């Protein structure tokens, strides 16, 4: 098909350049896996993974960042607290250029940004990048609450509506869903940690 050859050549090019650069991103990890177990997947499989990541990762991230900036514009106190936390975890009160600031964003520094994490999570509660999601049942199964689903059934959940249902949050805070409240996430989850998953 039309998509196959240009994308496959692009994948081959990426494979080559990443192999030369010895990077540790997700694609390089796949390549390393293939070096250790030759034949475990081909370039077409790798192409599909890359395409999947591009499709799944682009608008979700862009949309979430846009909503995050929107809520920050409307909540100056949250803005100030994030700025304070980021400064404390990186370069302190020193005035630095973009390059030095970028270099200070280590995994360790980022893991100290608990309030920023909560503020982002709270943005996703109000404006979930995937507001409705569905899954199709491949074989008969039972949900955790005992509800039986049959092969072929479609199960939907709606993060947008769920994030606004008070009764889902009331054990943490009676007024949970009124407004934008990063502290809600901290109350629910306690300290948050940088996740090991390379994509979320």
The answer to whether 199 contacts ligand HEM (rule: CB under 6 A) is: yes
Q: What residues from 49 to 68 belong to the interface with ligand HEM (CB under 6 A)?
A: 52-53, 56-57, 60-61, 64
Q: Closer CB to ligand HEM, residue 48 or residue 166?
A: 48
Query: 149: which strand partners?
Result: 141
Name 49's Cβ contacts closer than 8 Å, sequence gap at least 6: 27, 30
The answer to whether 143 contacts ligand HEM (rule: CB under 6 A) is: no
Q: Closer CB to ligand HEM, residue 129 or residue 188?
A: 129
Selected range binding ligand HEM among 8-16, 96-104, 123-131, 144-152, rule: CB under 6 A: 123-131
The answer to whether 189 contacts ligand HEM (rule: CB under 6 A) is: no
Contact (Cβ atoms closer than 8 angstroms) between residue 18 and residue 25: yes
3-class SS shares of the chain: helix, strand, coil, % to 5: 60, 5, 35
In 3D space, the residue among 126, 123, 121, 152 whose CA is nearest the CA of residue 139 turns out to be: 152
State the CB neighbour count (10 A cutoff) for residue 152: 10
The answer to whether 129 contacts ligand HEM (rule: CB under 6 A) is: yes
Q: Closer CB to ligand HEM, residue 154 or residue 174?
A: 154
State the CB neighbour count (10 A cutoff) for residue 117: 22
Select the residue whose beta carbon is closest to ligand HEM and give its number.
Answer: 57
- Using CB under 6 A, which of 133, 140, 141, 170 touches ligand HEM? 133
The answer to whether 130 contacts ligand HEM (rule: CB under 6 A) is: yes
Tracing tokens 């494979």 back to the chain, one arrives at 15
The answer to whether 111 contacts ligand HEM (rule: CB under 6 A) is: no
Q: Closer CB to ligand HEM, residue 124 or residue 126?
A: 124
Q: How far is CA 2 from CA 5, 7, 48, 97, in A?
A: 7, 9, 14, 45
Which residues bind to ligand HEM, rule: CB under 6 A?
A: 52-53, 56-57, 60-61, 64, 124, 129-130, 133, 199-200
């Amino acid at each position: 098909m039309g998509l196959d050859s240009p994308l496959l050549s692009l994948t081959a090019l990426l494979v080559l350049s990443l192999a030369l650069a010895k990077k540790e991103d997700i694609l390089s990890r796949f390549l390393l896996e293939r070096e250790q177990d030759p034949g475990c997947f081909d370039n077409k499989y790798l192409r599909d993974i890359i395409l999947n990541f591009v499709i799944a990762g682009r608008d979700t991230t862009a949309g979430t960042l846009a909503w995050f900036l929107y809520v920050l514009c409307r909540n100056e106190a949250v803005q100030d607290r994030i700025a304070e936390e980021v400064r404390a975890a990186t370069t302190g009160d020193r005035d630095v250029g973009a390059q030095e600031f970028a270099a200070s964003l280590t995994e360790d520094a980022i893991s100290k940004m608990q309030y920023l994490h909560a503020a982002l999570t709270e943005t996703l509660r109000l404006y979930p990048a995937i507001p409705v999601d569905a899954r199709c049942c491949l074989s008969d199964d039972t949900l955790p609450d005992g509800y039986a689903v049959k092969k072929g059934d479609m199960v939907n959940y709606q993060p947008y509506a769920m994030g606004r249902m008070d009764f889902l949050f009331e054990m943490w805070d009676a007024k949970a869903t009124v407004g934008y409240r990063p502290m809600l996430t901290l109350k629910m989850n306690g300290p948050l940690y940088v996740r090991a998953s390379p994509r979320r």
